[in-house]
Amino acid sequence: MMKVCINPEMVIVNGKVLSHQEKGSALLTKLYRTYIGDYPKFFKMDTLSKLGFVASELLLQAENAERFVPREDRAVVFFNRSASLQADTTYQATIQDPDNFFPSPAAFVYTLPNIVTGEIAIRNKYFGETSFIVLPERDPSIMAQQLQNAFQDPMTQSILGGWLDCTDENHFEAELTLIFKS
Amino acid sequence: MDELIYTLKQQIIETLNLEDMTPEDIDENASLFGEGLGLDSIDALELIVLMEKNYGIKLQDPNQGKEIFKSVAVIADYIAKNRTK
């Protein structure tokens, strides 16, 4: 099973560690510049979306299948426990001070966790289901059940899914896999 | 005016996270949207916030924005004539 794990200090693609000196969000930028580099919108994303974007790119590059062809048979299903906390905090900072009240539209658009599933679907031309499920804690049994449920849609033949959590630029965790209908 | 244009370019790069760009990379007469800098609708909203936050200019009419945000030079000209700070 193809798998990508990213935390602020380490990146593992299919069991192989990718060595980089950068940590935290700087690591995500380094991964973008090293392995992707053709999607300037990356720099406008919140950290959760950057994390999901980079992790999905590494995973799909490892899949080595034809890309950017419109398809309806692949779903994107993510889970976490922090929703869009980092983006929420960033946005709140723009409205906290009554004397400096300038709500940021660019920060506001990321104040939902499922924005990252949209970013990935747009990038890859996926027209299947996209879901982002927020759980009280990471629960493998609930996650497995939800992924199984996604296959109830007869159109869905594979899922790009897994855990994608971020509380700030230095605390995040991605563990994404490609799951195929058996 | 040249100084205002340069400052505005810096603010646009910083506000819109135009990574890897410098003020010199931006043609002040080029279109900001579409084929120019390729900005989108969220960027347009951020430009409205930038105008109010840095220059005290409130844009109420969206159609006004269409005209003002044609290029950096047009924005700078509008700021020079209407700024309150």
Secondary-structure breakdown of chain B: helix, strand, coil percentages, each rounded to the nearest 5: 60, 0, 40
Residue B6 has pLDDT above 80, yes or no: yes
- Unique residue bearing structure tokens 């931006």: B26
CA–CA gap between residue B57 and residue B64 (Å, rounded):
12
| pLDDT single digits (tens) B8-59 | 999 999 999 998 899 999 999 999 987 778 888 899 999 999 999 999 999 8
Residue A93 touches partner B, C-beta closer than 8 Å: no
- The residue-averaged pLDDT of A138-159 equals 97
Interface pTM, i.e. ipTM: 0.84
Give me the pLDDT at residue B66, please: 83
**Domain with A146 in it: what CATH number?**
3.40.47.10
Residues A105, B17: C-beta atoms closer than 8 Å = no
Residues A104, B16: C-beta atoms closer than 8 Å = no
Residues A105, B42: C-beta atoms closer than 8 Å = yes
Residue A88 has pLDDT above 90, yes or no: yes
Give me the pLDDT at residue B63, please: 79
What is the distance in angstroms between the Cα of B44 and the nearest Cα belonging to chain A? 9
Residues A109, B42: C-beta atoms closer than 8 Å = yes
CA atoms within 13 A on the CB side of A15: 2
Residue A104 touches partner B, C-beta closer than 8 Å: yes
Domain assignment of residue A131, given as a range: 3-180
Strands of the sheet containing A16-18, edge to edge, are A16-18, A10-13, A3-7, A171-180, A158-168, A74-80, A130-134
DSSP sequence for chain A: --EEEEETTEEEETTEEEP-S--THHHHHHHHHHHT---GGGGGS-HHHHHHHHHHHHHHHHHT---S--BSSEEEEEEESSTTHHHHHHHHHTTS-GGG----HHHHTTSSTTHHHHHHHHHHTB-S-EEEEE-SS--HHHHHHHHHHHTTSTT--EEEEEEEEEEETTEEEEEEEEEE--
Interface test with A, best of B11, B25, B39, B45 (most A CBs within 10 A): B45
Give me the pLDDT at residue B38, please: 81
Domain count, chain A: 1
